[in-house]
A and B are shown apart, each in its own frame.
Chain A
Amino acid sequence: MADMRVNLCGVELKNPVITASGTFGYGHEFQDFYPVGRLGGISCKGTTLLERPGNPSPRIAETPSGMLNSVGLQNPGVETFVSELLPWMREQDVTVIANIAGSSVEDYVAMAERLNEEDVQIIEMNISCPNVREGGVSFGTSAASVENITKAVKSRLTNKPLMVKLTPNVTNIGDMAAAAEAAGADAVSLINTLTGMRIDIRTRRPVLRNNTGGLSGPAVFPVAVRMVRDVYKRVNIPIVGLGGISTWQDAAEMMIAGATAIQIGTANFRDPYAAIKVIDGLERFADSIGLSSVTELTGTLEEW
């Protein structure tokens, strides 16, 4: 039996399968389907210092092999997260990745300080949300600002590893990953959603009330694989690959491209058991090809 455990910047995960921020709530929503403790980790809904209402509806538009969303970081705020949502997650024996967001460098720093002593294992810094007016993706689209915010947060986050979640809406994602690494990031996760738009041809209005939204789902998977590969060539810190992974084959592909662990996002909506099927499928695959550890897949791509 292959060892499914992976070490993600010093944190041992039961397996390399994490559920992605914004697609899994705070875990309890899936408890009726399976014990969420089976997962390698849960990345929480993007959380901010104060409660945020997010964007008006409609916030969802289906697209070929994917979807657009413009939720805009609706969340109850970090205090509610810590006092009401985190305790249940702790009882599930699952690695908790706190996804943090904000409108200013100071917001991110304050979030890091607030969570530094809490029982979460990794901080995922979301500098890639395309659906908020201030902050979000704007911190993630130039190497200088990635470096600046990563340094600022890392200097206060003394107790936990920092994973920087990168946006694909840049000219060169490798530069952003390298900037994060140079500033002390312990890992990077990619990709967040690709900015897109759908139009109702009868009303000639965007389908989404926010006009634009983030594209996710199988449609973005090949882009994500290519970007993980680009980043793998540029950095030595571990990479968490996500973007359209729906099956264990997708997960294996992402790991071969260079990912140490992967995240399942949009697939959770169509099949709530998607992440469990990926774990089981990866394990069978690892056994079938005689791996002693699933980590032996990571970065083993031989390019032409």
Chain B
Amino acid sequence: MRYTQEFTKVLTCRELSAGIYEYTVAAPQISRLARAGQFVQILVEGKQLRRPISLAGFDAAAGTLTFIFEIRGEGTRRMAEAQVGDTLDLIGPLGNGFPLPEAEHVVLIGGGIGTPPMLPLAQYYGGKATVISGFRSASSVILQEEFAAAGVTVTLCTDDGSAGFNGFTTQALEAHLASHPCDLICTCGPTPMMRGVAAVAAKHGISCFVSLEERMGCGFGACVGCAVDIKQANGTVSRLKVCTDGPVFAGEEVCW
């Protein structure tokens, strides 16, 4: 089985920062199948389409999943009304996760609500990883303690300088690469940020994986709604599906 529908009970929920919510649910089936970089499709009462949300954590032994989302509109606002004990209807795990190649010096770059999928990678690579974590301002910072608990070094950046380094994650990445070795970069966040990260990685000849976001109908390849243009090895461009061909692609393959 690749993915399944599971009716999951909310175990914990909390607001991590203004408008950003973390849910942990009991999902024995999906948690057993999940890998870093995959996502779930969450049913929203009164909405036609499910909402694709990437996994911030999964624990097969405990049978739990954790996901974090930001209120962006009516659908995510309704999702955030779920309380402990409520049932959430999920389909997952969906998509291909990060490939997790052998690497000694890994940089994980999360921007805003793209930060949560970096957490399972930080836990996987542990002390081999450095996290560059960017937010708009101090009030939107999340997951710093969780990264610290994973044993990774964290560089915090804010666009307005209200916490950590005053600037973009791409600048912090350049600064890091000037004095540290690196053989793998993984990133998730706003498209301009990922495009910039992919360009820096290409310049330094470092392998780079990006996790893309697109509006989705089904999430498992049936509707072909979430298309993205990806360069092929033979020089042609293919229009692939973010849901089943991605959401993780090599940075240099993406037609930004």
Contacts and interface: CB of A to CB of B under 8 A. Distances in A.
Interface stretch (B43-51, B119-127, B136-144): B43-51
B49 A60 contact: yes
The A interface, classified by DSSP as helix, strand, loop or mixed, is: loop
A107 B215 CA distance: 31
Interface residues of A, number: 35
B184 to A, nearest CB: 28
Interface stretch (A50-58, A140-148, A251-259, A277-285): A50-58
Interface string A252-295: 00000000000000101111110000000000000000000000
B152 interface: no
Interface string A49-92: 00001111111111101110101001000000000000000000
Contact of B48 (A29, A58, A66): A66
Contact of B5 (A23, A33, A268, A269): A33
A24 B221 CA distance: 9
A25 B48 contact: no
Interface string B235-256: 0001100001000000000000
B4 A269 contact: no
Nearest to B47: A62
Contacts of B1: 32
The B interface, classified by DSSP as helix, strand, loop or mixed, is: loop
B178 to A, nearest CB: 36
Interface string B192-228: 0000000000000000000000111110111111111
B3 interface: yes
Nearest to B217: A269
Contact of B227 (A22, A33, A56, A273): A56
Given A67-B49, A269-B217, A272-B5, A54 B223 contact: no
Given A25-B221, A60-B215, A74 B227 contact: yes
B2 interface: yes
A63 B48 CA distance: 8
A101 B3 CA distance: 31
A171 B239 CA distance: 35
A278 to B, nearest CB: 16
Contacts of B2: 32
Nearest to A267: B48
Contacts of A269: 48-50, 217-218, 222-223
B227 A54 contact: yes
Nearest to B1: A32
A60 B48 contact: no
A101 B226 CA distance: 21
Contacts of A23: 217-218, 222-223
Contact of A268 (B3, B218, B224, B228): B218
A181 B161 CA distance: 70
B23 to A, nearest CB: 20
A60 B216 contact: yes
A60 to B, nearest CB: 4
Interface in A205-234: 217-218
Interface in B49-66: 49-50
A58 to B, nearest CB: 5
Nearest to B238: A53
22 contacts: A22-B224, A23-B217, A25-B221, A25-B223, A29-B220, A29-B222, A30-B222, A32-B1, A32-B2, A56-B229, A60-B215, A60-B216, A60-B217, A60-B225, A62-B47, A62-B49, A66-B48, A67-B49, A69-B223, A269-B50, A272-B5, A272-B220
**What are the 5 tightest A-B residue pairs by CB atom distance, in nearest-first order?**
A25-B222, A60-B225, A29-B222, A60-B215, A53-B239
Given A23-B217, A32-B1, A65-B48, 9 more contacts: A25-B224, A29-B221, A55-B227, A59-B227, A60-B223, A62-B48, A69-B223, A266-B48, A269-B49
